[in-house]
Structure 1
Amino acid sequence: MTIKQRILTALVLLPLLILLLGFASPMVFSVFLTLVLFVSLLEYNKMGLAGEHGLEQWLSAAAGAAVVPVLALNQPELLVPLYTGLYLVLALLFLFRLPPIEETHHRLGWLVSGTVYLPLLIGHLVPLHQLAYGKQWIFLLLIAVMACDSMAYFIGRKFGKRKLYPAVSPNKSIEGAYGGILGAVLGVLFAKLFFLQAIGWFGVLGIGVALGVFGQLGDLFESLLKRACRVKDSGTMIPGHGGLLDRLDSLLFVFPLVYYIAKYGYGG
């Protein structure tokens, strides 16, 4: 996974992402988000279960991805029957397609946790996109998290000496983490200057620090899961970046945070 590969992939994908976020209708955005969630859930399921329980992996991914159209149609009450039906189906499949009994709780628990972890976090993008300035807030969070990741990487390589959390992510440093927070603040400052002037100067600092911290916590949590599964990447879908889930790790904890900031802090 070289810097050159990362840059080439970003040069191709970033313009497409900007066009999608800037000009796509709510329906197109929801379809795109549904596909992203479905692929991410497949990667997550395979990461923990490899080739076992293929039917259950696909069913849980499909049900989890259905959260996006449910929210897009403003029918959150359908989430209860959706999840109830999924858990009943999974329970029956595990009962009658019996795995090694001592592995049942691990395997079933992995599938169940995925349908909570990814759909409920990514799902916050749906109401965020529907806010008056929702697109601008989505641009803000993407810019801030990308700046956070980049600054953490380069400052960590240049100045990193103290390990941040070696049991989970041995290459990350405390100096890199501080650099990441600085990068997120600069990303929010960029958003304020160019397309979200409603954010005050204290807001730039507060939101930037919060996004920098939560982005890196999301990254660390994804690293924890990958180490538990003994895999380096969640997949191979994106050249130079691993799987789709590998590109979402720093964003997952940020999605709900930005939604609640935009909705309740800025009258969205």
Structure 2
Amino acid sequence: MFRQRLASALVGIPVVIAVSYLGGLLYVALITLVGLLALREYYTLTAIDDKGSMILGFGGHVLLTALLWLQGFTAFSAGFFAIFVFINIFWVLTYPRDFRILSFLLWGFVYVTGLMGFFVLLRELNTGFSAVLTVFVAVWASDTGAYLVGMSVGRHKLIPAVSPKKSVEGALGGMLATGLILALLAPQLGLVRLPALILGLTLSVAGQLGDLAESALKRWANIKDSGSFLPGHGGVLDRIDSLLFAAPLAYLFF
């Protein structure tokens, strides 16, 4: 398992960093593709399996991401509410249809499309690449620190009902690792050390909450992994759950 995780990371991380550095259409295309893969797994977790609903979800994701990149957050917001109205009309015209699916569909736009959109906004900043790289480094440091400390000295369960393997010690280890790493790399990331330390602690907490939120969703759906797209890592949603919660806070910071 560890070798698979390491191999996937060694291949995937350089690709993600290179595309983030280049930015532009290629970067937005990657964000859109990752979002589509995550949405597909989310639809499996929430039992959305009819083609009409999935087409609405995938199409809306592509449209909203394009609006965000081309026209900004105002256009994205207008597009979201237009899609909300359209989906409700669709539900009326195709009645009877389970309204729980409508709720899950709209929540997918918020959870995946909306939160992924902050990576588009981050990259559009003057220090866009550094900002995106900061989020990646923070989440990777948090995940690694939490895993190593939790495996070594983890004794007290964090929230066992949601994620039985996570420990309080691991969570604290992830926070400490992230704070120290961002403080050490602050000059390279264009940051001042003390704010970088505080940002690291904050992004670690946000990332771990994102991980727990997805764990709760999987626990509710009675599914271990969101998918099997990445060897040793589970699904795409399993890999971006922490990033989804960290990106909005990073955007506010920058």
Q: TM bucket by the smaller chain?
A: over 0.9
Unaligned segments of structure 2, at least 5 residues: none
Deviation at 1:218, TM superposition (A): 0.7
2:213 to 198, 203, 221: 221
Aligned residue runs from structure 1 range 61-140, under 5 A: 61-95=58-92, 96=94, 98-99=96-97, 104-140=98-134
Unaligned segments of structure 1, at least 5 residues: 263-268
2:39 to 29, 41, 45: 41
* Alpha-carbon spacing, 1:53–1:93, altered in 2? closer, same or farther (3 Å): farther
What's the TM-score, normalizing by structure 2?
A: 0.93
Q: Which residue of 2 aligns with 1:237?
A: 229
Q: Which residue type is aligned with residue 8 of structure 2?
A: T
What's the TM-score, normalizing by structure 1?
A: 0.88
1:56, 1:93 within 8 Å by CA — same for their partners in 2?
no
* Counterpart Cα distance in 2 of 1:239 and 1:19: 21
Deviation at 1:93, TM superposition (A): 4.1
Secondary structure, aligned partner of 1:178: helix
Secondary structure, aligned partner of 2:229: coil
Q: Which residue of 2 aligns with 1:31?
A: 29
Aligned residue runs from structure 1 range 192-211, under 5 A: 192-193=186-187, 195-197=188-190, 199-211=191-203
C-alpha root-mean-square deviation of aligned residues, in Å? 1.7
* Alpha-carbon spacing, 1:257–1:75, altered in 2? closer, same or farther (3 Å): closer
Q: Which residue type is aligned with residue 189 of structure 2?
A: L
Deviation at 1:70, TM superposition (A): 0.7
Secondary structure, aligned partner of 2:231: coil
1:6, 1:239 within 8 Å by CA — same for their partners in 2?
yes
Q: Which residue of 2 aligns with 1:254?
A: 246
Deviation at 1:91, TM superposition (A): 2.9
Among the aligned pairs, what percent are the same residue? 34
* Counterpart Cα distance in 2 of 1:223 and 1:216: 10
1:160, 1:173 within 8 Å by CA — same for their partners in 2?
yes
* Counterpart Cα distance in 1 of 2:192 and 2:109: 37
Q: Which residue type is aligned with residue 211 of structure 1?
A: L
Q: Deviations over 1:199-223 (max 9, x none)?
A: 2232122111101111101111111
Deviates more, 1:66-75 or 1:224-233: 66-75
Deviation at 1:86, TM superposition (A): 2.6
2:65, 2:76 within 8 Å by CA — same for their partners in 1?
no
